[in-house]
């Protein structure tokens, strides 16, 4: 079967599996703030001293709306919003610290958004110092942030470097002006060049670029042009994402163009295949799904050591059992449970003032969830999994394997001796393989669109 035929066959809506169970299948009947706190305490006792914890901080403010973006954001040019938000974040962090019987040990910290560099250097310094003052730092900790090339200053980069940040990623998306106008993200190559080179001069050891394929009006030539310019800068890490067109979820933010302006699935896949070939020719290695790295980057080293991990921050080079999300819409993970913060800024502020951890939904994992979660992590991070150990078997395993028969016939994976391995041909379909393990999705197919297309 040709690649085009495989794309037509397997291009269906599916999760990106930054968690299992995925958010639409969380069971609110078994979730409560009390149960969530109990799962946090259990996980902290098991993991803090051994490996530390991760922190994700959502900074939601942006000065303008990018129409490709599916993140929770608040559009404003009023920078007086910065200080009250940081005050609330630090109060939320204190509530988590009060749950534990020891100081949290921070292994990984990431600033996401929104636009983290919307905030002034001084306010970001106040935030990071406030977090670290209530914690310890693990050995080889990693601090990272997302920077907007148009507003990341040398002062931002220097201040965060001085606070321990060594990794930064810049959202490039595409360098073509027509595409940039369609997604409302005008940024010249010179801006990306400046922040990339400045970060390196200061001493950042991992500078990443985010590129998106499948955008409105985007062509293969645009991908070639964007990667040619990317090669001039050779970022250490590249996220080469498929544009997730989900306007039924994200609303008007993804209606700045018409559906017919988007590349067809076959064209979109061609954009990825050509982009991937060009990146590999330039010396990058494909890491998991959507990611590429140079051999000197920590993500490559994690893949080589089979220590690659995936959570709500995407792929990470270091695994921690617990991740605490701070700020509006952030998702936390205790391994035994998930919890998401309220999405509205006003409600978030109200709950913080009432000294209530501001979660509004979540899921406590049962034994079956925990086993399947491990299989999907194995597939997404290592392109393989095994059920030789008794604790990795689950009731619907035979049913799962039968759903994979067709993929075996199509040469996408090999199953033998209580294990499976995805072939090179099958790697573009890793989400489809994971979906076969997703018993919650199989038991209750959604009656309306929930996910982007897998290809």
pLDDT at 252 (0 to 100): 47
Q: What is each CA distance from 20 to 175, 306, 311, 365, in whole angstroms?
A: 35, 20, 10, 9
Q: How far apart are CA 442 and CA 394, in angstroms?
A: 15
Predicted pLDDT at 455: 67
What are φ and ψ of residue 285, in 5° steps? -115, 140
pLDDT at residue 163, as a whole number: 98
For the chain, give every residue range classified as CATH 3.80.30.20. 26-326
How high is the pLDDT of residue 445? Answer: 72
| CA pseudo-torsion sign 22, 24, 26, 32 | positive
Residue burial 248-257, b: 16+ Cβ < 10 Å; e: rest: eebeebbebb
pLDDT of residue 242: 87
Residue 97 annotated as part of some ligand binding site: no
> Tokens 């037509």 map to which residue?
8
pLDDT at 413: 96
3-state secondary structure of 229: helix
Give long-range contacts, CB 8 A cutoff, 24+ apart: 221-229. 222/174, 222/175, 222/176, 222/179, 223/174, 223/271, 223/274, 223/275, 223/278, 224/274, 224/278, 225/175, 225/176, 226/172, 226/174, 226/175, 226/176, 227/275, 227/278, 227/279, 227/282, 228/278, 229/175, 229/189
- 146 assigned binding-site residue: yes
Q: Is 185 annotated in some ligand binding site?
A: yes
Answer left, alpha or beta for residue 393, where phi above 0 means left and psi between -120 and 50 means alpha: beta
Instruction: Spell out the residues 6+ positions from residue 189 whose beta carbon is closer than 8 angstroms to its own.
Output: 175, 229
Q: What is the pLDDT along the chain (455 residues), one digit of tens a residue?
A: 787 788 888 888 889 999 999 999 999 999 999 999 999 999 999 999 999 999 999 999 887 777 666 677 777 888 999 999 999 999 999 999 999 999 999 999 999 988 999 999 999 999 999 999 999 999 999 999 999 999 999 999 999 999 999 999 999 999 999 999 988 888 999 999 999 999 999 999 999 999 999 999 999 999 999 999 999 999 999 999 888 765 544 544 445 577 788 998 888 889 998 999 999 999 999 998 889 999 999 999 999 999 999 998 889 988 899 999 999 999 999 999 999 999 999 999 999 999 999 999 999 999 999 999 999 999 999 999 999 999 999 999 999 999 999 999 999 999 998 999 999 999 889 999 999 999 999 887 766 656 766 76
- For 26-326, CATH gives 3.80.30.20
256 annotated to bind ligand:
no
- Determine if residue 86 is labeled as part of a ligand binding site: no
Give the integer Cα–Cα distance in Å for 12 and 432: 8
Output the pLDDT for position 256: 58
Q: What is the pLDDT of residue 449?
A: 59
Is 203 annotated to bind a ligand? Reply is no
State the CB neighbour count (10 A cutoff) for residue 357: 18
Q: Is 253 annotated as a binding residue?
A: no
Q: 185 and 175 in contact (C-beta within 8 Å)?
A: no
- CA 320 and chain centroid, separation: 15
Give the pLDDT confidence score for residue 245 in this predicted structure: 61
State the Cα torsion 122-128-129-135 to the nearest 10°: 180
Residue 436 assigned ligand-binding role: no
306 Ramachandran zone, left/alpha/beta (phi>0; psi -120 to 50): left
Distance CA 276, CA 291 (A): 10
Place of tokens 């090669």: 231
Cis peptide bond prior to 395, omega within 30° of 0: no
> How far from 77 is each of 82, 117, 150, 172, 328, CA to CA, in Å?
11, 13, 14, 22, 19
Integer CA distances (angstroms), 202 to 149, 155, 205, in order: 16, 10, 9
Q: Are 412 and 341 in contact (CB under 8 A)?
A: no
62 labeled part of a ligand binding site = yes
Return the pLDDT at 7.
80
Q: Is residue 55 within 8 Å of residue 107, measured between CB atoms?
A: no
Give me 377's structure tokens.
């992590």
- 254 annotated as belonging to a binding site for a ligand: no
Per the annotation, does 115 bind a ligand? yes
Q: Is 300 annotated to bind ligand? A: no
The closest of 165, 153, 190 to 175, measured between CA atoms, is: 190
Rounded CA-CA distance 334/160 in Å is 27
**pLDDT score for 66:** 72
Closest CA to 171 of 192, 154, 157, 199: 192
Using the Cα atoms of residue 170, residue 175, residue 177 and residue 179 in order, give the sign of their dihedral: negative
CATH 1.10.10.920 maps onto the chain at 1-21+366-455
Per CATH, is 1-21+366-455 categorized as 1.10.10.920?
yes
> What is the distance between the alpha carbons of residues 331 and 318, in angstroms, rounded to a whole number?
18
The torsion angles phi and psi of 129, rounded to 5 degrees, stand at -65, -40
Nearest to 171 by CA among 66, 15, 274: 66
Nearest one of 384, 421, 420, 380 to 289, comparing CA atoms:
380
Q: How far apart are CA 263 and CA 215, in angstroms?
A: 7
Q: What is the pLDDT of residue 5?
A: 85
The reply to whether 92 sits in an annotated binding site is: no
């Amino acid at each position: 079967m040709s690649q085009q035929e495989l794309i037509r066959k397997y291009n269906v809506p599916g999760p990106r599996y930054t968690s299992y169970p995925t958010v639409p299948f969380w069971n609110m009947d078994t979730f409560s703030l009390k149960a969530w706190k109990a799962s946090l305490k259990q996980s902290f006792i098991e993991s803090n001293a051994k490996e530390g914890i991760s922190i994700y901080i959502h900074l939601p403010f942006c000065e303008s709306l990018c129409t490709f973006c599916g993140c929770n954001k608040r559009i404003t040019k009023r920078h007086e919003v910065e200080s009250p938000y940081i005050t609330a974040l630090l109060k939320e962090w204190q509530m988590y610290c009060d749950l534990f019987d020891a100081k949290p040990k921070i292994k990984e910290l990431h600033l996401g958004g929104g636009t983290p560099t919307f905030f002034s250097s001084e306010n970001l310094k106040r935030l990071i110092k406030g977090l670290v003052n209530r914690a310890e730092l693990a050995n080889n900790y990693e601090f990272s942030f997302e920077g907007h090339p148009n507003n990341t200053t040398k002062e931002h980069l220097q201040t965060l470097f001085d606070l321990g940040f060594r990794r930064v990623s810049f959202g490039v998306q595409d360098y073509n002006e027509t595409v940039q106008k369609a997604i409302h993200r005008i940024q010249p190559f010179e801006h990306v060049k400046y922040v990339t080179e400045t970060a390196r001069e200061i001493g950042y050891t991992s500078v990443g670029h985010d590129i998106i394929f499948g955008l409105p009006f985007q062509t293969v030539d645009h991908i070639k042009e964007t990667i040619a310019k990317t090669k001039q800068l050779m970022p250490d890490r590249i996220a080469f994402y498929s544009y997730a067109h989900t306007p039924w979820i994200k609303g008007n933010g993804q209606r700045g163009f018409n559906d017919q302006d988007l590349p067809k699935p076959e064209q979109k896949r061609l954009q990825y295949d050509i982009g991937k070939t060009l990146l590999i020719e330039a010396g990058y290695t494909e890491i998991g799904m959507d990611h590429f790295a140079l051999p000197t980057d920590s993500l490559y080293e994690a893949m080589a050591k089979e220590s690659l991990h995936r959570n709500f921050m995407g792929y990470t080079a270091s695994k921690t059992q617990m991740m605490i999300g701070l700020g509006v819409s952030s998702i936390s993970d205790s391994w035994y449970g998930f919890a998401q913060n309220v999405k509205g800024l006003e409600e978030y502020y109200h709950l913080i003032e009432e000294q209530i951890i501001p979660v509004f939904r979540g899921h406590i994992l049962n034994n079956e969830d925990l086993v399947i979660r491990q299989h999907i992590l194995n597939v997404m991070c290592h392109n393989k999994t095994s059920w030789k150990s008794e604790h990795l078997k689950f009731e619907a395993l035979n049913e799962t394997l039968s759903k994979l028969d067709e993929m075996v016939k199509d040469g996408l994976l090999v199953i033998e001796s209580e294990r499976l391995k995805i072939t090179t041909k099958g790697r573009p379909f890793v989400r489809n393989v994971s979906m076969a393990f997703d018993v919650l999705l199989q038991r209750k197919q959604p009656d309306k669109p929930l996910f982007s297309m897998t290809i």
